[in-house]
Every structure is written in structure tokens, then in C-alpha cells.
Structure 1
Amino acid sequence: MKKSFEIKGKEFGKGNYWICIPLVSKDIPTIVEDLNKIIELNPDLIEWRVDFFEELQDLDKIIGVLNSIKALTINIPVIFTCRDITEGGQSNLNNDAKYRIFQEALNTGAIDFLDIEMMSGVDYIARVRNLIAQYDKKMILSYHNFHKTPSKRFIVEKLMEGERLGGDITKVALMPNKSNDVLKLLSATEKAWENIKIPMITMSMGELGKVSRIWGSAFGSEVTFASMDQISAPGQINFRLLKELIEIISKGGGKS
């Protein structure tokens, strides 16, 4: 039986397909402007990619932004991500520095999910998981490869690793080098869905992978990422277009 939970009226683990818009602005004035634009679009989720923030070392400014996000996202779940440079992000902070940011972020009450890379290590993940549990929030354990798509077996095992390490959601994002790589990702998602009890997020990136962002729910993925203006990963589709395509193609036809 699948594990399910509800965050701000959005059910996860029930076969829904939610659209998330990442906030990737670099400075406070642009963050405020872009956040208001995103709110007007009313996405299912918002992700603040704090690693793009040019004042990442200033905790007070991070807290200020989070308080602004909190005031505007009463009904929208928020993912907080400090993506490491080794997995396509902008941050080269060490784990202790990121942990301090996570503590402050959770203290604001502005976030609902923390996204942590699986490569962070078992001990660190357990430490962050315990921190998140104190605030009754959720952890996304993720793996990104911006260079290639590994084997189907590797993808399935990586998704299962996210569950084994205590994630509430397990996530994999991969770069295809040929069309068969996209099929491999989707097939691995479907295979993992048969064995994993927690919700999954999977996507194939770049131009080749766009179909996985539209039709991922048919294979077991529960969240897709769309762009407003700037993209946080290659192949992201404009929010309005993606929403329309999903409504036309899937009509809520995800796995359940």
C-alpha cells in the first residue's frame, strides 16, 4: 500500500500530478517581483532554489525572503532547495553550512519540503531527517545527473535508495543523450512504482526529455517542474503551456 500525505490541500501518494514552479532569482528585488508573478499563476507548488540567491551566506536575508514567501503561500506547498554544484546547482557550501540554513528555514515555518541530495551521505541525511521531523515537515531525497542517463537498473535502485534512506518523496532527474534514454527513465519509473511505497518524482531533462515532464504521471511520477521566465533545469516547459498539455493528455490519468 502506498504511503500518502496531504500538504496544504495537495495529496501526495494518490496518483495526482502537481506542477511546481522554481523561484531562481538572484537578488531580493527580483525575488519579490518574480514571486508575485508566480503567485498570480497559482501553481500547485513553489520551489525556492536558494542556491541561486547571490547572498546565500546572509542568513538574515534568507529569513527575510522566507517570511515573504510564507505570507504569500498559505495554500501553496513550498519546497526549499540548496542544490549542490555537483548536481547542477549553484551552491558549493559544505553540509554544516547548509544545515544551518535548513534550521533557519524550518524555523520560519515557510517551507513544507526540504530537498536533499542522496549523495550527501547516510549520516548527514539522518541528521537532516531528524531535524525535519521536529517541525513535522517532509524530505525529498534526490539524485541528478546532468550528463547521462544510467541503466534502468541503476535508476530503479536510486529511487529505492531514496525510500530506504528515509525520504518522504524520492526524486531522480537525468539527462538523455538519445531518445531511448527517455524511454529508459519512464520504464524505470514504472518499474520502481511497483516496488516503492512513497511518492516519486522523475524526469528526463533537455529537449529530448520534455515528454517525460508532460506524461510522467502515467508512469508513476507525481510532480513536474515548469518555468515562468527563467529555468532551473534544461527542458522545462512554460507553466501555462505545460498545464494545458497535461489537462489535455492525462485528464488526471496518473497511477493510483
Structure 2
Amino acid sequence: MKRIFSIKEREFGTGKFLICVPIVSNNKHSIIEDFKRVVNLDPDLVEWRVDYFEDNTDIEKIKAILNQIKGMTQNTPVIFTCRHQSEGGMCSLDSEIRYNMFKEALATGAVDLLDIEMINGEGYINSIKKLTELYDKKLILSYHNFQTTPNEQFIIDKLMDGESLGADIVKVALMPKTSEDVLTLLSATGKSRKYVNIPVITMSMGELGRVSRVWGNAFGSAVTFASMLQISAPGQIGFFDLKKMIEFFSKEGEHS
């Protein structure tokens, strides 16, 4: 049975498609202003992509921003992500610096979910898992491939790996070269429900993959990502457009 949990009244694993808006600004003023605007949109989640921050090596400045946005996100779950260059991110900080960053970020109380890459390895992931458990937060383990879409079994195995490594949520994002690649991702997501007992997030990126951002929940994906002003991944759809499409298809399903 799928493990269900809630964060700030947002339920994960129930079949509802949650919308997350990433913040990718590079300076403190813009980040704070973007948080204000995004929270006013009332998304299900907001993600701070701290790797875009121009001072992403300065933990004190990161803490200052988190402490400043803490009040405005009291009712909105916050994902904290420092995406590595190897998986489409903007920084290549070493593991010790990132560990300290994650520890201090969690300690502020402003972060609800922490996203790190599965490529970090079991030992490092275990150390981060202990941090999230210490602060009673959730861990997202993710895998991104901006080059291609592997076969179904590879995708299912990745989702299973995330669970076995201790993730609360596992995420896989892939780049399609053909429409068949999009179907491969969606099919693998659907089939993974037999084997994976935690919420999963999957998406096919780029223009070809946009359908997965709208209909992914029909196959078992728990969260989709929408842009506000700037995109954090190819193929993201604007927040209002995506919200309308998801609401439309949800209503259609209810009346069918």
C-alpha cells in the first residue's frame, strides 16, 4: 500500500496532483520578492533552487533568506534543493559543504523537504537521511537525465532504488527524444505502483514531455512543476495555465 503523509495540509500519495513552483532567482532581493509572489499564487509547494543563488557557498546568507521567508511560508511546504551540475544544476559544491548547508537549512525550520540526488551514494544519503529525521522533515531522492530516456525497467529500478535508500519521495526526470520516450516514462511510472510504496514524482522534460506535467498523476506521479517567471527545467508550463489544465481534466474524470 502506498505510504501517505501530509505536510502543512498537503497530502502526498493520495492521487492528487500537487503543483510546485520553483524559485530560481540569483540574488537575495529577488528571491525574497519571488517568494512573496509565489506564496500569493497559493501553489501546493514552493521549491528554492539555492544552486541559482549567487552566494550559494555562503551558508549564513542562505540561513538569513530562509529565516526571512519562514513567516510567509507557514502554510506552504518548502523544498530546499541545491542541484549539482552533474544533474542539471548550477553548482558543484563538495559533499561536506553541502552537508553543512543542509544541516543549517533544516535547523532554521523553514525547510519541509530536502531534495538530493541519488548519485551521491548510499553513505552520503544515509547521513542526510539522519538529518531529515532529526528535524522531522522529508527527504526527496532524485535522478535527472537531460540526455535521453532509458528503458522502462531502468526507470522502475531507479524508483525502487530511491525507496530502498530511504527516500520519503523519489523523483525521476528524463529528456525524451521521441513521443515514444514520453510513453515509456508514463508507462514505467504506472507499473512502478506495484513495487514502490512511497510517493513518486516523474516527468518527461522538454516540449515533447509537457503532457506528463499535466497528466502524470493518472499514472501515479504526485507532484508537477510549474514556472512563474523563469523556468528551472525544460518544458515547464506557467502556473495558471497548468492549474487550469489539471483542474479541467480532474473534473472531466469525475464526470466520466
Structure 1 length-normalised TM: 0.97
Instruction: Tell me the residue number matched to 2:7.
Output: 7
- Equivalent pairs counted in the alignment come to 254
**Match of 1:129?**
129
Q: Give me the whole-angstrom Cα distance separating, in 1, the residues matched to 2:13 and 2:39.
A: 25
Report what 1:46 is aligned to. Answer: 46
Q: Map Cα deviations across residues 197-228 of structure 1 (whole Å, 9 max, x no partner).
A: 10000000000000000000000000000000
Matched, 1:167 2:175: no
Q: Which residue of 2 aligns with 1:177?
A: 177
In structure 2, relative to structure 1, the CA distance for the partners of 1:252 and 1:8 (3 Å cut) is farther
Q: Does 1:77 align with 2:77?
A: yes
User: How many angstroms apart in 2 are the aligned matches of 1:8 and 1:176?
Assistant: 34
Q: CA deviation at 1:192?
A: 0.5
Q: Tell me the equivalent position of 1:16.
A: 16
Q: How far is 1:51 from its partner?
A: 0.4
Structure 1 runs (4+) deviating above 4 angstroms are none
Q: Alpha carbons of 1:32 and 1:132: their partners in 2 closer, same or farther (altered >3 Å)?
A: same
Task: Please give the residue correspondences for 1:213-252 in structure 2 after superposition, counting only pairs within 5 Å.
Answer: 213-251=213-251
Q: Secondary structure at the match of 1:139?
A: strand
Q: Secondary structure at the match of 1:14?
A: coil
Quote the offset at 1:29 in angstroms: 1.1
- Mapped partners of 1:48, 1:246: distance in 2: 23
Structure 1 CA distance, aligned partners of 2:58 and 2:209? 36
SS at match of 2:97: helix
Give secondary structure in 2 for the equivalent of 1:71: coil
Matches within 5 A, 1:76-115: 76-115=76-115
- Residues 218, 250 of structure 1: 8 Å contact kept: no
Q: Distance in 2 between matches of 1:67 and 1:218?
A: 37
C-alpha distance in structure 2 between counterparts of 1:208 and 1:31, whole Å: 30
Instruction: Confirm or deny that 1:62 pairs with 2:62.
Output: yes
1:140 counterpart residue number: 140
* Cα separation, partners in 2 of 1:99 and 1:252, compared to 1, 3 Å: farther
Offset, 1:91 = 1.3
Identity of aligned residues (%): 58
1:253 Cα deviation from its structure 2 partner:
5.6
Question: Structure 1 CA distance, aligned partners of 2:154 and 2:227?
Answer: 28
In the alignment, structure 2 segments of 5+ residues that lack a partner are none
Note the alpha carbon deviations across 1:104-159, whole angstroms, 9 max, x for none: 10110001100010000000000100111000100000000011000111000001
SS in 1 for 2:47: strand
Matched, 1:27 2:27: yes
Q: Aligned to 1:173, what secondary structure does the other structure show?
A: strand
Q: Which residue of 1 aligns with 2:149?
A: 149
**2:252, 2:201 → 1: CA distance?**
16
CA distance in 2, matches of 1:114, 1:251: 32
8 Å CA contact retained: 1:56, 1:62: yes
Q: CA deviation at 1:251?
A: 3.3
Does the CA contact (< 8 Å) of 1:149 and 1:176 recur in 2?
A: yes
Q: Following the alignment from structure 1 to structure 2, what is the Cα–Cα distance between the partners of residues 243 and 121?
A: 35
CA distance in 1, matches of 2:122, 2:71: 34
CA separation of 1:85 and 1:42: change in aligned 2, threshold 3 A:
same
